[in-house]
Each structure stands twice: as structure tokens, then as C-alpha cells.
């Protein structure tokens, strides 16, 4: 499964919160319209209510794993981003 970041890594490293008691209205990630990530100092994990949703992909019976991965990659590109470039500026295959 292909994982894509919401923004280029250097930008995500510049926008990170230091919330220590949950992510309320003062969370800088929330203010920027981003979900908290692993670069946030204290809040990422079970105590954070601003974490990204996790997608679960079930493999239907009779399908090959590579077929499901290809379909999932296409869905991530179609739904997750309006541009056709990756976070690093490379055009995906």
C-alpha cells in the first residue's frame, strides 16, 4: 500500500504542534487544517483527537494482493490529491 503525506516533509516538519493535553482550538496543526503527525512533539497517539483516519483494505476472495494494491494506489491518487505529482515533486508511475 502506498502512503502519501498531506504535504512535503519539510513543510510538515515546520507545522507541528506542541500540544500536551489533547488538541483543542490552540493546536497549530488544527489551525493549519492538518492532522497531527509523528513530527508533533507530545500529542500524537492515543491522547490526540486530531490524528488521521486509518483506512482498512480488505482483500476480496479470489483477488491477488497486487490487484488490490494497484486499485488502492489509484484510489489514493484520485481522492487524496488534486495534483498529479507526489510530495517530493516526482510524477508517480
Helix (H) or strand (E) holding 80: helix 65-80
- The Cα 4–Cα 63 span in angstroms is 24
pTM of the model: 0.43
- Cβ burial 57-83 (10 Å sphere, 16+ → b, else e): eeeeeeeeeeeeeeeeeeebeeeeeee
What is the grid cell recorded at 33? 487544517
* pLDDT confidence band for 29 (50 / 70 / 90): confident
pLDDT value at 25 more than 50: yes
Whether residue 40 is predicted with pLDDT greater than 60 in this model: the reply is yes
pLDDT recorded at residue 76: 47
Amino acid at each position: 500500500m502506498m502512503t502519501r503525506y498531506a504535504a512535503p516533509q519539510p513543510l510538515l516538519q515546520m507545522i507541528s504542534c506542541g500540544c500536551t493535553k489533547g488538541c483543542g482550538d490552540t493546536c497549530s496543526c488544527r489551525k493549519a487544517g492538518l492532522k497531527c503527525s509523528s513530527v508533533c512533539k507530545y500529542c500524537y497517539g492515543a491522547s490526540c483527537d486530531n490524528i488521521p483516519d486509518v483506512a482498512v483494505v480488505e482483500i476480496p476472495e479470489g483477488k491477488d494482493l497486487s490487484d488490490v494494491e494497484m486499485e488502492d494506489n489509484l484510489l489514493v491518487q484520485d481522492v487524496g490529491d488534486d495534483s498529479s505529482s507526489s510530495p517530493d515533486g516526482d510524477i508517480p508511475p
